[in-house]
Chains A and B, each alone.
Chain A
Amino acid sequence: MKELSLFTGCLIPNRYPGIEKATKLALDRLDIKWSELKEAACCPAPGIYRSFDKITWLTLASRNLALAEEKGTDILTICNGCFSSLVDANNILKNDAALRSEVNSHLEKIGREYLGTIEVRHIIEFLYKDVGAEKIGRFIEKPLEIRAAVHYGCHLLKPTKDRKLGGAECPVFFDELVEATGATSVPYEGKTSCCGAGGGVRSAMLETSLRMTEYKLERIKKAVVDCIVDACPFCHLQYDGGQVELAKTGKTYNIPVVHYSQLLALALGATPQEAGLHLNEITYRGFEEKIASIQKTPAK
């Protein structure tokens, strides 16, 4: 399998480094070759920069793409926002010579060039397509017998015409990867609904964004799960930090939130500490103890 350049983005290294650690551990244990994308910068965030100025958004994205092109590797993202920006910019630039030339006129000033020679992957679709849920299952010695509420996140799935991962109303690929770890993906109402964070809404209108989060948390609570599993640090922040913010208004949920990389690392034998569970805004001792106790039982 070809080496991949790991693109960590802003939120994971700077707010949830536990997800970065867990990703690296999981990739190593699955024997997937990766290296850091040195000198990478913000993807840049689609909800903000794409809204403001398309050329600036494309130019900054193309710089990150050019860094990976110089290494001759595809990019692996672990965030729906980074995936959305980089995969969309790559597709737009590959198919539009005029935009490509405009972007390159800016990149020239920093001595770089966008060529359109690499692909952008998201860890979920990469693991599903290139490794496969069945093969991941074969790596797991102690299945994590827990109940999980899977949250895909909007930009992993949509726009479906560009993502080419099937429909967005009732997707199954992420659930299959979650179940490969031994967990049960529990159905719940509003499963594909937005967490509320995107489009610059969280940064400018926190209260509005939290109402959407509350809608999700109420329904996840009814499904009685051990944790939420996401594939994006912005959704992760919205659920994890959002529960702290909602608690201030008297609404408590206490639902642990884990990124798929963390769930996978745990299933592959990493301790809750190694997978960075304690680095969430809220720590969930009960959940960590449950995982540790599963890990202590003899392998079947």
Chain B
Amino acid sequence: MKNHDILTCLQCGTCHASCPSGRYTSLNIRKIVRDSVRRDISDEPELWMCTTCYNCQERCPRGIKVTDAVLTLRSEAVKKGMLLPAHRKVCRCLFETGYSIPIDDKHRLMRKKLGLGETVHKKAIKEVRTLLGSTKFNELIKI
């Protein structure tokens, strides 16, 4: 990844020490930062263990946008077809319903009892589909 800010990293490890996911997983954000400028890390599963909490970015003494870099690295991985099945499913929900988390019968009934209206909007779904086609997201994700 071409990111000049990352070249200023002094490998102090404040990012990793601040990482809630790194406490439990093999995600070492310091290593991600180091390795991302040396080689392609698109196939590393650790990229997807970040909750994007921004602790690393907030605390970096060099002011490196670490979390934003993770987002860029992920989008590079997606371009190479590295996409977790669960995430593809969420994208499919958006394409089909306009929502990432669509309504189901149980919650439709809850809404009715509360006197709340419908959440399915046909025009919204149509427009979302047009936009997903226009940006070629459909092709990228293979919806």
Contacts and interface: CB of A to CB of B under 8 A. Distances in A.
B101 to A, nearest CB: 4
Given A39-B121, A208-B49, A20 B116 contact: yes
B94 A52 contact: no
Contacts of B21: 194, 196, 201, 208, 212
A211 interface: yes
Interface in A6-55: 10-11, 13-15, 17-18, 20-21, 36, 38-42, 44-55
A276 B114 CA distance: 8
B44 interface: no
A103 B72 CA distance: 19
Judged by DSSP, the binding face of B is: helix
B140 A52 contact: yes
Contacts of A41: 94, 98-99, 121, 124-125, 127-128
A46 B52 contact: yes
B123 interface: yes
A51 B141 CA distance: 12
Contacts of A40: 121, 124
A196 B51 contact: yes
**A interface bracket (residues with beta carbon within 8 Å of B):** 35 or more
Contacts of A51: 52, 70-71, 74-75, 78
A133 interface: no
Given A51-B74, A201-B49, 14 more contacts: A10-B102, A13-B103, A13-B116, A14-B104, A18-B114, A40-B121, A41-B127, A53-B78, A56-B131, A159-B54, A200-B84, A203-B89, A208-B25, A276-B114
Interface of A: 10-11, 13-15, 17-18, 20-21, 36, 38-42, 44-56, 59-60, 63, 106-107, 109-110, 112, 154-155, 158-160, 168, 193-194, 196-201, 203-205, 208-209, 211-212, 215, 276, 279
Interface of B: 20-21, 23-25, 48-55, 57-58, 67, 70-71, 74-75, 78, 83-84, 86-87, 89-91, 94, 98-104, 107, 110-111, 114-117, 119, 121, 123-125, 127-128, 130-132, 134-135, 137, 140-141
